């Protein structure tokens, strides 16, 4: 079955999700504010691309931007990063918290120190003190992943979900969208969700061991860049050509795996647009403009068939801004 069939689902009309208000947010005249972007983890192509968008918008608006992040997806690693940014007292911060509960205290302290806080990508359960929360419609993306995978496996068989950690707003929503949709596919059995702590090597180990214990495995849903990379490595090492894989994100290695036919579909986000909107909302708040509490950016279903289409190029993540 060719992945053009994604379009036949009527869902993958290239983009899903409400349009962000970023297109209409007029930059108000203001000071040369100092902003900081705290990435969920440094070096991840999703956040590299988000930083490119944030920097482009910061330059456009004449504000300064610092970019920082921990070297691992871990709330205990991110907390001291948050604390040191608060101590440096920038005017505004765009932050992707690694855990929706554990980072409430340091982020509330940041806001209480008078720093405008905007959530980009991930968010806390408590968004009451944030200027804005900007993300993909992750629930819809998870639903789309399930519908697509169900179609690829002819609506029957065992499927595996490889996820980061529980307690992350984005990936939790993706899994919820996926598992809720699979309830409409009674002949598809979803195995217990496996967690990798954002480590591709763990995703490879999990894939290898689940393949050994479930030789009839039909499909995999990998919820982000690192999981997708690790799953693809596991399938390659097992020389498995039968399992169908759908993954969130569109990092450079994921595109290689898509083109090689190891992965059949990618639910790509618009991290560049999230970075742009993050700066816009934070600057609006600093200039006493009207901000938008929740912004959902678009996503795109990418397959081997449409990966070279001009319309999807903005959804492919960058390894660097140049």
Contact between 297 and ligand T6T by CB under 6 A: the answer reads no
Segment contacting ligand T6T by CB under 6 A, of 25-33, 39-47, 291-299, 303-311: 39-47
Segment contacting ligand T6T by CB under 6 A, of 22-30, 77-85, 208-216, 218-226: 218-226
By 3-state DSSP, what share of the chain in percent is helix, strand and coil, each rounded to 5? 40, 20, 40
Query: What does the alpha-carbon distance between residue 178 and residue 317 come to, in Å, rounded to a whole number?
Result: 23
Contact between 224 and ligand T6T by CB under 6 A: the answer reads yes
Smallest distance, Å, CB 116 to ligand T6T? Answer: 21
Contact between 122 and ligand T6T by CB under 6 A: the answer reads yes
- When binding is defined by CB under 6 A, the residue of 170, 245, 264, 303 that contacts ligand T6T is 170
- When binding is defined by CB under 6 A, the residue of 248, 257, 278, 285 that contacts ligand T6T is 248
Smallest distance, Å, CB 72 to ligand T6T? Answer: 12
Query: What does the alpha-carbon distance between residue 185 and residue 20 come to, in Å, rounded to a whole number?
Result: 32
Distances from the Cα of 93 to the Cα of 42, 44, 61, 96, 193, angstroms: 16, 19, 15, 10, 33
Give backbone dihedrals phi and psi of 300, rounded to 5 degrees, phi first.
-135, 140
- Adjacent-strand bridge partners of 297: 136
Segment contacting ligand T6T by CB under 6 A, of 9-17, 83-91, 101-109, 219-227: 219-227
The neighbour count for residue 289, using CB atoms within 10 Å, is 15
Smallest distance, Å, CB 267 to ligand T6T? Answer: 9
Listed residue (297, 302, 308, 300) closest to 271, CA to CA = 297
Indicate the residue among 48 and 279 with the shorter CB distance to ligand T6T.
48
Q: Which residue in this structure is represented by tokens 């349009």?
A: 19
SS (H, E, C) 224-285: CHHHHHHHHHHHHHCCCCCCEEEEECCCHHHHHHHHCCCCCEEEECCHHHHHHHHHHHHHHH
Contact between 190 and ligand T6T by CB under 6 A: the answer reads no
Report the run of H or E that residue 176 belongs to, with start and end.
helix 169-182
Indicate the residue among 33 and 47 with the shorter CB distance to ligand T6T.
47
- When binding is defined by CB under 6 A, the residue of 249, 272, 281, 291 that contacts ligand T6T is 249
Contact between 44 and ligand T6T by CB under 6 A: the answer reads yes
Contact between 57 and ligand T6T by CB under 6 A: the answer reads no
Contact between 21 and ligand T6T by CB under 6 A: the answer reads no
Binding mask 73-112 for ligand T6T (x = CB under 6 A): ----------------------------------------
CA angle 22, 25, 30 (to 5 degrees): 125
- When binding is defined by CB under 6 A, the residue of 57, 91, 121, 229 that contacts ligand T6T is 121
Smallest distance, Å, CB 202 to ligand T6T? Answer: 14
Question: What six digits make up the tokens of 98?
Answer: 């690694």
Which spans of this chain sit near ligand T6T (rule: CB under 6 A)?
40, 44, 46-47, 121-122, 170-171, 224-226, 248-249, 269
């Amino acid at each position: 079955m060719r992945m053009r069939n994604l379009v036949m689902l009527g869902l993958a009309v290239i983009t899903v999700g409400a349009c962000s208000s970023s297109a209409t947010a007029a930059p108000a005249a203001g000071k040369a504010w100092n902003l900081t972007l705290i990435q969920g983890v440094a070096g991840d192509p999703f956040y590299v691309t988000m930083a490119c968008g944030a920097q482009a918008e910061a330059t456009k608006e004449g504000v300064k931007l610092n970019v920082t992040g921990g070297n691992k997806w871990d709330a205990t690693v991110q907390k001291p990063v948050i604390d040191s940014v608060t101590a440096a007292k920038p005017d505004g911060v765009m932050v992707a918290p690694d855990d929706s509960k554990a980072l409430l205290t340091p982020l509330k302290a940041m806001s209480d120190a008078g720093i405008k806080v905007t959530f980009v990508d991930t968010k806390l359960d408590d968004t009451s003190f944030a200027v804005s929360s900007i993300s993909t419609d992750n629930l819809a993306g998870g639903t789309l992943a399930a519908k697509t995978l169900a179609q690829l496996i002819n609506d029957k068989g065992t499927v595996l979900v490889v996820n980061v950690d529980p307690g992350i707003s984005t990936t939790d929503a993706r899994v919820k969208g996926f598992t809720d949709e699979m309830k409409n596919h009674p002949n598809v059995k979803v195995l217990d969700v496996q967690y990798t702590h954002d480590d591709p090597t763990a995703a490879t180990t999990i894939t290898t061991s689940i393949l050994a214990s479930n030789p009839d495995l039909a499909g995999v849903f990998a919820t982000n860049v690192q999981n997708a990379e690790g799953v693809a490595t596991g399938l390659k090492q097992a020389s498995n050509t039968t399992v169908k894989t759908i993954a969130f994100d569109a990092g450079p290695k994921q595109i290689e795996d898509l083109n090689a036919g190891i992965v059949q579909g990618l639910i790509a986000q618009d991290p560049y647009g999230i970075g742009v909107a993050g700066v816009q909302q934070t600057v609006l708040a600093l200039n006493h403009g009207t901000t938008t509490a929740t912004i959902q950016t678009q996503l795109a279903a990418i397959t081997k068939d449409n990966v070279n289409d001009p319309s999807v190029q903005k959804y492919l993540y960058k390894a660097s801004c140049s």
